Structure 1
Amino acid sequence: MSSSSSSSSQEAFLAIYKEIESELLASLQSLPALSTNLKQQLVDYYSVCLPYTVPGGKMTRGLTVVRGVQVLKQRELTPAEYKDAAILGWMVEWLQAVFLVADDIMDASITRRGQPCWYQVPNVTQDNAINDALILENMIYQTIRRHFKSHPSYIHILDLFIDTTFQTEVGQHIDTNGTPYADGKRAPLDLSRFTLDRYRGCVRYKTCYYSFYLSCALALAYCGYDPNESSGEDGKSGGASLYKKAEDICMILGEYFQIQDDVLDAFASPEVLGKIGTDIEDAKCSWLVCKALELVTEEQKKILEEHYGKHDPEGVQKVKDLYRELKLQELYGDYEEEQKKICDGLIAQIEPENFQELFKFLLGKIYKREK
């Protein structure tokens, strides 16, 4: 896809966002038993909150839904089909916003997408931001009901969002409990909890489902593929097989994406990344620390014991220096090439063949990415 066609795709997609935003703000205006003044305060607040928290990223998750519907139908979409696919795509972006607003609070992050995290914005406050995440989540279901209540796949679409939200929240629990807490305070660092088993469980649930599988499954659902159909009338793979193959590839893509994210968190510049990485300070169970623990000598391990999980710039730098000493960036480079070969092989096995284009699109978006 050329840069000009990519730009026009994003412009068309953003136009649908503006329609959804207008609908949601209008629904606030119509709330019963509230004074005109209170309604206007709500509208004024969320007129700032929505464009600040929902758009602004690369929009890959949302555009994947549109691309998926296009490749499954094997033709240009009608205006009505495009709008439906884009609305579903924006609901994935909305879910992303829910998680980012909450995650930034939990991680005490400072910046997101090159600007202050939502809870850091003057006059928002942390308490408001927590409630905003809940309201953003509810807006997903309002929008799906408004536009898809009469669609044959309405229940399945709802189930996908309900299941994915739960899966991601389980992953977040595994992530935030990598280092235990006692009596409301962080317990002493326990490096034994940083294992690749914990890491893979966290990634599968926290990243793979909502960042990759949800978009692909929504495209299948919208196009009428039944997840319970074992084979089609023509004897070819039915819906169940397509969903399973999509899930298998998305689990690999999601793990690859998150490991990539961990490496960028430690080594990419904030200007390029759009945020300040805090995985070391937050004692995250990242791929880097898990791999480091497999390779360190007892002497090197002391660096992690003394400095991992502390908000000390000099200590953070010592951990990063250790990662370099262990050549973890080079190990990641080898891993990246291996994962690409695995994904290429799995993608080649997908039928119908046109559905392969969606996963080639996703792989192309993340292979060798720098932010």
Structure 2
Amino acid sequence: MVRAVNARADDPEFRTRIDHTLESFVDGQRAILAELGPDVENLADAAIGFVAGGKRLRPQFCYAGWLVAGGTPDEPGIVTAAAALEWLQASALVHDDLMDGSDTRRGRPSVHRAFEARHRDEARHGDPVGFGTSAAVLLGDLLLSWCDEMFRSNGLAHTDEAFRFLDLCKTEVVAGQFLDVAGQTRESLSVAEAMTVVRYKSAKYTVERPLHIGAALAGADPELIAALTEVALPLGEAFQLRDDVLGVFGDPELTGKPAGDDLREGKRTVLVARAAELTDDAGRTLLRTSLGTPEGVDAVRDLIHASGALEAVEDDIARLETAADEAIDRLGSEARQVLGPLALTATRRTR
């Protein structure tokens, strides 16, 4: 059952409170790390720098779940709990950039590249690449630890119930990430297989579990949790498909990453699976030989467009948006007020 609420999850003031909460938390961690010397204190700088400029989608969906389940809009504990999800996201992105060999994130050097550059600038001994790799692994692990530490401190009555969904979220995103990595070792993935990666790497992690966590913190019943899943899975899948489109056709000035990175890295996305499905034998040969090579990016991008794969994925996004929209309507007008604008933010975006 959805309870009456007079707030929106995409409230800019809520995002500001998330930013301040993250900064305050890092200030406390900095005091601990500073005792170990400037090298370790650099981790605090890297952490707060990395989360700056994020979209804060997961905290906002957590807040949405809280509001839909009848949570008080100005409760400070939900800000702490929602902000903790940014550390989980940051941990995943630091490791993701390392695995993908990405040079940038949000228009700035990725963490492993930044530590590589620091090694060179300070003329340190040893291998700068190895130093950057090690630093990124350790920072990502630290951020994951911070997620649990911060979440546990929220002071809300239903934290134990919500932790069950947070634990599921962590397991699912690692499994989805591994499916993505394993997919790159195969010649091709079907559309259904690529959509499984989308569901576990992104849809559950970005939308479903944050909604569940927020709702559980407000004492939601199982019926509401199930109803939120009907919203979350199509919306989260549409979110990731939009991400895939932006990874190939997006403006680097807006996305903060070079266009075509997914193609360069050989990602078997739904776009690529749709292209393989819709093209001819010559096109499939081109995918087999050019995907995952720097020189093949333009040819694969052109094939995705010419084969109709881009149009097909845009149709997929529209279909999923409709399914999510209908599920929001089933929750009622109060849920529409909370979730409607946030749903548009997730799928109608340019970065």
Instruction: Calculate the TM-score normalised by the size of structure 2.
Output: 0.86
Secondary structure in 2 matching 1:321: helix
Match of residue 124 from structure 2: none
Native 8 Å contact 2:163 2:213 kept in 1: no
Q: CA 1:72–1:303 in structure 2 vs 1: closer, same or farther (change >3 Å)?
A: same
Native 8 Å contact 2:66 2:216 kept in 1: no
Match of residue 50 from structure 1: 47
Distance 1:146 1:359 in 2: 26
1:195 aligned residue (152, 171, 190)? 190
Following superposition, the deviation at residue 48 of structure 1 comes to 0.9
- 1:139 paired to 2:146: yes
Q: CA 1:305–1:113 in structure 2 vs 1: closer, same or farther (change >3 Å)?
A: same
Letter in 2 for 1:333: E
- 1:99 paired to 2:92: yes
Native 8 Å contact 1:174 1:198 kept in 2: no
Match of residue 255 from structure 2: 273
Following superposition, the deviation at residue 330 of structure 1 comes to 2.5
Q: CA RMSD in A?
A: 2.2
2:63 aligned residue (66, 84, 105)? 66
What does 1:93-132 align with in structure 2 at a 5 Å threshold?
93-121=86-114, 122-123=117-118, 125-132=132-139
Following superposition, the deviation at residue 18 of structure 1 comes to 1.8
2:344 aligned residue (341, 348, 364)? 364
CA shift digits 1:280-329 (9 cap, x unpaired): 122211011100111111122221122112122xx210111111211333
Native 8 Å contact 1:263 1:329 kept in 2: yes
Native 8 Å contact 2:237 2:320 kept in 1: no
Following superposition, the deviation at residue 357 of structure 1 comes to 3.2
Native 8 Å contact 1:303 1:319 kept in 2: yes
Following superposition, the deviation at residue 76 of structure 1 comes to 4.2
Following superposition, the deviation at residue 114 of structure 1 comes to 0.9
- 1:346 paired to 2:327: yes
What does 1:147-158 align with in structure 2 at a 5 Å threshold?
147-148=154-155, 151-158=156-163
Q: CA 1:302–1:41 in structure 2 vs 1: closer, same or farther (change >3 Å)?
A: closer
Match of residue 123 from structure 2: none
Letter in 1 for 2:244: D
Letter in 2 for 1:341: T
CA shift digits 1:80-137 (9 cap, x unpaired): x1x2111111111111001000000001111111111111102361111101111111
Distance 1:325 1:97 in 2: 36
Q: Share of identical aligned residues, percent?
A: 24
Q: CA 1:161–1:325 in structure 2 vs 1: closer, same or farther (change >3 Å)?
A: same
Secondary structure in 2 matching 1:255: helix
Native 8 Å contact 1:61 1:212 kept in 2: yes
Instruction: Calculate the TM-score normalised by the size of structure 1.
Output: 0.82
Letter in 2 for 1:175: D
Distance 1:153 1:67 in 2: 16
- 1:282 paired to 2:265: yes
1:260 aligned residue (233, 242, 252)? 242
Distance 1:107 1:90 in 2: 26
Match of residue 232 from structure 1: none
Q: Relative contact order (alpha carbons < 8 A, sep ≥ 6): 1 or 2 greater? A: 2
In proportion to residue count, which structure has more helix? 2
Distance 1:76 1:27 in 2: 32
Match of residue 5 from structure 2: none
Native 8 Å contact 1:252 1:339 kept in 2: yes
Letter in 2 for 1:85: I
Structure 1, unaligned runs of 5 or more: 30-35, 181-188, 226-238
What does 1:185-264 align with in structure 2 at a 5 Å threshold?
190-191=187-188, 194-225=189-220, 239-264=221-246
Native 8 Å contact 1:92 1:214 kept in 2: no
Following superposition, the deviation at residue 72 of structure 1 comes to 3.5
Distance 2:218 2:316 in 1: 35
Native 8 Å contact 2:278 2:309 kept in 1: no
Distance 2:151 2:195 in 1: 31
Letter in 1 for 2:140: A
Structure 2, unaligned runs of 5 or more: 1-9, 119-130
Q: CA 1:244–1:70 in structure 2 vs 1: closer, same or farther (change >3 Å)?
A: closer
